[in-house]
């Protein structure tokens, strides 16, 4: 790609008389005739602004005299009088001193294009992160965790048993014949067996009959194909755009090089594919009626009491029967903890229940959040 080169002339400010925007071709101030030096940033040139392509908004230099200065190499600064000198001369134009190894070099500015200003989030984000961390630490170490620790601490309180209650039930079940339905492939004929002393029974499967075809479920089956199109985007070359960069020549002039780069644009297109279409198809199976046995509740008796010893209701198992026993116990304890409260102890067995007596003293271990952890008879 063809390159386009231009020479851009910088400007400087005289610190002796205050003259501004002096073109670089003047090595002495046109107003006070003082030579340009390193001091006071006199030799840090302003090359003007650039546009979005990086192209200088200043006109390029075309006259011979200025182009000759631009091509003379980097300036050097006299070690004796400080004056700026062309790179291609060996004696100071101001004091005639020889250019020695102690002559100072010209400052070279970095004129490479600046990356687009990002929201460089250094201090702001740091602050945010620090705040969040502090927040978590704070809420944990001084908030939640502290509450958690305080809340788990316990204190002992005195209470009293106000009531004891027991409930006992006996459920009588009988192994009875019944008809059910099932899928033919899951049924195999088995003879039933009656329970002996309420155990060892087999429900059995007999007299499989009246089989009919019924829907058992569905399955997915391919049902042809369809063309499905989706709109997608891709990058495509769409002409060219100019890009320029500048290089400080170290003598008040900058060289600008511009060239054309391929430009890329988003283009939408249709992405089409052939996809298999599916439909749900019912699946049928043979469903049959059969005879079997199952436990059925035929009776239930319940007894409740308070201070009296727990007793079982009278209910015994007959032929092909069994009984199931259920028991539950409750001990109500009243105590004072920021008001009158009730705590219920639920013993699992009779021997654990009968030791509780109405009016008895109780020591309760309660957390600071009010949860009863332990209740012990005194």
Binding residues with Zn ion: total (CB under 5 A): 15
**Minimum gap (Å) between residue 94 Cβ and Zn ion:** 4
**Minimum gap (Å) between residue 63 Cβ and Zn ion:** 23
**Minimum gap (Å) between residue 34 Cβ and Zn ion:** 5
Of 363, 367, 306, 364, the residue nearest 331 (C-alpha): 306
Among 8, 50, 70, 78, binds Zn ion (CB under 5 A): 78
Among 38, 72, 81, 317, binds Zn ion (CB under 5 A): 81
* CB-CB contact of 214 with 284 (8 Å): yes
Residues of this chain, 226-285, that bind Zn ion according to CB under 5 A: none
Q: Which is nearer to Zn ion, 12 or 290 (CB)?
A: 12
* Cβ-Cβ contacts under 8 Å for 218 (sequence gap 6 or more): 280, 281, 282, 283
Q: Where are the beta strands (DSSP E) in the chain?
A: 3-9, 11-12, 22-23, 76-77, 84-85, 104-105, 154-183, 206-248, 253-305, 321-336, 340-345, 361-367, 372-377
Among 52, 91, 95, 237, binds Zn ion (CB under 5 A): 95
**Minimum gap (Å) between residue 85 Cβ and Zn ion:** 8
Among 84, 94, 164, 292, binds Zn ion (CB under 5 A): 94
Q: Tally the C-alpha atoms within 13 A of residue 52's C-alpha that lie toward its C-beta.
A: 1
H-helix segments, 209-273 = none
**Minimum gap (Å) between residue 257 Cβ and Zn ion:** 33
What is the rounded CA–CA span in Å between residue 49 and residue 353? 94
- Of the ranges 94-102, 126-134, 147-155, 245-253, which one interacts with Zn ion (CB under 5 A)? 94-102
Q: Which is nearer to Zn ion, 32 or 272 (CB)?
A: 32
What is the rounded CA–CA span in Å between residue 356 and residue 367? 23
CA 238, chain centre distance (Å): 38
Q: Which is nearer to Zn ion, 81 or 211 (CB)?
A: 81
Residues of this chain, 13-32, that bind Zn ion according to CB under 5 A: 14, 16-17, 19, 29, 31-32
67: left (phi over 0), alpha (psi -120 to 50) or beta: alpha
- Of the ranges 82-90, 178-186, 210-218, 256-264, which one interacts with Zn ion (CB under 5 A)? 82-90
- Enumerate binding residues for Zn ion (CB under 5 A): 14, 16-17, 19, 29, 31-32, 78, 80-81, 83, 92, 94-95, 97
């Amino acid at each position: 790609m063809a390159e386009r080169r231009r020479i851009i002339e910088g400007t400087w400010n005289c610190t002796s008389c205050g003259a501004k925007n002096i073109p670089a071709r003047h090595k002495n101030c046109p107003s006070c005739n003082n030579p340009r030096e390193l001091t006071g940033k006199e030799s840090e040139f302003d090359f003007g602004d650039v546009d979005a392509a990086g192209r200088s908004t200043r006109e390029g230099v075309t006259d011979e005299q200025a182009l000759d200065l631009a091509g003379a190499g980097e300036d050097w600064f006299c070690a004796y009088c400080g004056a700026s000198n062309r790179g291609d001369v060996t004696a100071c134009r101001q004091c005639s001193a020889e250019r020695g190894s102690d002559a100072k070099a010209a400052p070279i500015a970095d004129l490479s294009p600046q990356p687009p200003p990002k929201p460089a989030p250094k201090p702001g984000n740091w602050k945010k992160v620090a705040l969040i961390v502090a927040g978590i630490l704070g809420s944990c170490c001084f908030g939640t965790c502290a509450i958690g620790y305080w809340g788990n601490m316990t204190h002992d309180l005195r209470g009293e048993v106000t009531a004891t209650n027991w409930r006992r039930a006996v459920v009588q079940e009988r192994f009875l014949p019944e008809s059910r339905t099932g899928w033919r492939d899951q049924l195999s004929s088995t003879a039933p067996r009656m329970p002996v002393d309420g155990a060892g029974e087999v429900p059995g499967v007999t007299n499989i009959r009246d089989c009919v075809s019924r829907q058992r479920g569905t399955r997915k089956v391919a049902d042809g194909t369809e063309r499905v199109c989706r709109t997608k985007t891709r990058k495509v070359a769409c002409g060219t755009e100019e890009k320029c960069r500048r290089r400080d020549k170290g003598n008040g002039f900058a060289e600008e090089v511009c060239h054309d780069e391929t430009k890329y644009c988003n283009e939408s297109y249709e992405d089409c594919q052939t996809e298999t279409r599916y439909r749900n198809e019912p699946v049928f199976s043979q469903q049959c009626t059969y005879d079997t046995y199952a436990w059925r509740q035929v009776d239930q008796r319940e007894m409740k009491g308070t201070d009296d010893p727990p007793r079982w209701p009278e209910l015994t198992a007959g032929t092909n029967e069994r009984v199931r026993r259920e028991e539950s116990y409750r001990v109500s304890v009243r105590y004072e903890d920021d008001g009158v409260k009730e705590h219920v102890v639920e013993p699992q067995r009779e021997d654990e229940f009968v030791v509780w007596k109405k009016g008895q003293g109780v020591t309760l271990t309660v957390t600071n959040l009010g949860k009863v952890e332990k209740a012990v008879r005194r």
